[in-house]
Amino acid sequence: MNKHEKHQDSFLSQVIERAAQAAQTVSGDGADRSQARAQIRADDIATLITTPPEFKFGQAALPCHSFAKAFRLPPAKIAERMAAEINEWAQTNGEKAHIARVEAVNGYLNFHCRFESYGARLLEDIRSGAYFERPLLDEGKTEKILVEYAQPNTHKALHVGHLRNMVYGDSVSRILEYAGHDVVRATYPGDMGAHIAKSLWYIGTKLGGQLPAERQADWLGEVYAQSDDAVKAVTDPTEQAKVKAEIGAVLKELQDRKGPAYELYKITRDWSLDQQKRIYAWLGMEFDVWYFESECDEPSRRLVLEKFEEGFFQKSEGAIGIDLSRWNLGFAMFLKSDGNGLYLTKDLELIRRKFSDPDVTRSLVVVDARQRLHFQQLFKTAELMGYPQAAGSVHLSYESVTTADGVPCSSRNLNGILLEDLRTVIEDKIILDHLHAYHGVWIEAEIRQVAEQVCLGALKYGFLRVDGNSVIKFLLDEWLKLEGDTGPYLQYVHARCQSLLEKVGRPPARPKIVLETSFEEELLFHLGRFNAFALQAAESFRPVVISAYLHELCRLYNRFYKECPVKTAASPELRDSRLALVESTASVLRTGLALLGIPAPDRM
């Protein structure tokens, strides 16, 4: 448990506070009591708190073994003395205490929650929204963090494989904001390079400069694959040299920003950027700043040459770079021997632009795992150049997305479903499989809206339910299921909560909390842990922490729903208490889904 959790949960706050107080009353034979007190602080105890192996053994546990040296007592004896002190306090304070009792077991303190008093406060805070507005970080711990993600190349097909980067970066940004950070969302389209010159060359020499009137961006993706095949098909050395020179001439026009190829570039670049903006709007993503590779190209070369003249960079076999062998990062090349730059060159200029805002404390960059060395070299070079923010910057890496048969999705191979086609295919399938019965019952606009929401839930959760170090196989039919570990399953549970509340009614203000079963207690306690999991996700940059929490929440809710009747509860008080659990489950589920960028339909 993180020390910041004292801001999040009244039960765990009391556990930490009372354990720290109890520790002050323990003394052992010959122990220096003041020295022992100084060694055991609330923050130290917070880092030791763990969860018992089963819910029935308690809701928090504190091992006392690390206190043995300070108190010169066996852990079991320390636990017994602390338990006696805490139990006396719990009995004296009654309902004010969220700790019902403490048991000393084999050197551990097992804390049991007083669920009714704990639940009354928790459910009221969730209902009012106060729970979701609590600070998760200590004062002074928040930062201004720039998150760079969604860097697709223009003039290439946008396919399902690109989604992993987009939804990962978007979710990390949402989670960091929820934790209290100031987040700057940045995108960095690859709108300059040899791949573009090759495509424009192909349009001019092989297609006679003819352009389509519709689906222009997808057509560019096809042209990219065709141009690559056309270049590879040239085997004669003389012809190869000719083609290389022609493509080089196109690239020079782009760099000089003039000529017929450059005019064609401007038109086709806009096609790609317009498509990107449409896709981001569909995904519910917005960016605070757009950086462009074309804007970093020439300034990056000038920057490297300036730092070379200053003696920061050195030459090696005609290339300009820096020796990072001291950090086991080899020689980082920033200008090739022919004077041309590399991706590392442009990224150095990008770093300079990012940190031109003095309030930005670090940059997070979402890029696939193959670029790990690239970013290690980049951040170390930037740090040595005088950007301390680079030392805390992080490359958020992820593995590839493959087709159902395990082949990595690729723009060059055109084997990933195009994103705009994918949206239509999935939404139509959802309507056919799940929503067709509501034609004539719901308005058509709602049917289409729910289909879009479920589509987003299936896709985003499919990418965020696993860590970045796992290869993801895109299995559409599996991701669309309304059961199991899927986005639509979580959305369906939210819709069921709302349906129940609509049929039975909302609970009254401040209902008495009555819990008759462990099913209710476990659900309640898990609801109270949401902020702890959100903080863990923010500190580790791992949306999967939220995904796993929500899946477990739905499991606990479905068990509660099965075992604990709501409408036919034994008393009005019990019914209202269970309605409060249903309402809070919907609220937490809706908030958690939002951190993943997933909408929560009210009915499905």
Per-residue model confidence (pLDDT) at position 408: 87
**Considering the entire predicted model, what is its pTM?**
0.93
Residue 252: half-sphere exposure toward Cβ, Cα within 13 Å: 6
Q: What residues does 401 pair with on adjacent strands?
A: 472
| Domains of the chain in sequence order | 3-113 (3.30.1360.70), 419-595 (1.10.730.10)
Calpha distance 158→419 (Å, rounded): 6
- 23 contacts 67 by C-beta, under 8 angstroms: yes
pLDDT band at 34 (very low <50, low <70, confident <90, very high): low
3-state secondary structure at position 19:
helix
Looking at residue 580, the DSSP 8-state letter turns out to be: H
Q: How far apart (Å, rounded) are the C-alpha atoms in residues 400 and 409?
A: 8
pLDDT tens profile 480-531: 999 999 999 999 999 999 999 999 999 999 999 999 999 999 999 999 999 9
Two tokens at 113? 């929650």
Q: What is the DSSP string of 485-548?
A: SSHHHHHHHHHHHHHHHHHH-PPPSSPPP---SHHHHHHHHHHHTHHHHHHHHHHHT-THHHHH
Note the pLDDT tens digit of each residue in 194-238.
Answer: 999 999 999 999 999 999 999 999 999 999 999 999 999 999 999
Q: How far apart are CA 102 and CA 105, in angstroms?
A: 10
Give pLDDT, residue 44.
Answer: 82
CA distance 477 to 461: 14
CA 141, distance to chain mean position in Å, is: 20
* pLDDT tens, position by position, 441-482: 999 999 999 999 999 999 999 999 999 999 999 999 999 999
